[in-house]
Amino acid sequence: MTDTLETTARMPALYIGHGAPPLLDDPVWSGELRTWAAGLPRPRAILAVSAHWEAAPLSLSATAAGTPLVYDFGGFPERYYRWEYATPDAGALAGLVASVMPDTEPVHQHRSRGLDHGAWVPLSIMYPEADIPILQLSLPTHDQGRLLDLGRRLQPLRDEGVLIVGSGFLTHGLPFLREFRIAAAPPGWSVDFDLWAAEALAAGDLDTLADFRSAPGMPYAHPTVEHLSPLFVTLGAATDPAAP
């Protein structure tokens, strides 16, 4: 990676359900992510906004090559705490992110914080060679309007070959789940919220999506909001929120 990123085809903006580390071993989930990544233009860099890094002021993860991962979970087999995903230097990407932010919102640069599982679990499947520079940008707020504005500021990075990834989960009612098998039937509140969100997303209806607290399936679908918030960064970065 040089001091600048070469221009390439415009990259999309994605919102993905990142899942817990055991999903790395689920052939369906992994297969879908791998196929999806193979159908995209190859990114020159990746900027991820994960549900698992809520921090203000706006912050970037460490740019150094091979920065160790963050194992921000508990109760899983030991091998997930030994997972490695050593990505290249991302200094050029950090410079690009800083360049699109206003003077009133400087970006704090962490020297040691690595990628958390909201980034490295899905990206390990999508780009297993770990040969693409990757940074995380923190969630500085859960205000949907401010997150949409943040996404709009990031939108020009897509023309520089940067894949923008909002990483959360469309429903995240873990306290209300009774079965954790991958093949388990989804609970009604999850289905109801999914259907509501699919309709609003298909219409590009940002006002309805921002009013998610009134949606069917709430508050069970999101007893806390951090897994839905990255969606609004993605929608802000989208060329057309009504388009896939």
The pLDDT of residue 243: 82
The pLDDT of residue 95: 96
* Burial status of residue 99 (CB atoms within 10 A of its CB: 0-12, 13-18, 19 or more): exposed
Beta strands in 28-113 (DSSP E): 45-50, 59-60, 108-109
The pLDDT of residue 4: 45
The pLDDT of residue 1: 31
Distances (CA, A) of 178 to 24, 57, 73: 22, 37, 19
* Whole-structure pTM value: 0.93
Q: What is the pLDDT of residues 36-93, one digit of tens each?
A: 999 999 999 999 999 999 999 999 999 999 999 999 998 889 999 999 999 999 999 9
Instruction: Give pLDDT < 70 ranges for the chain.
Output: 1-8
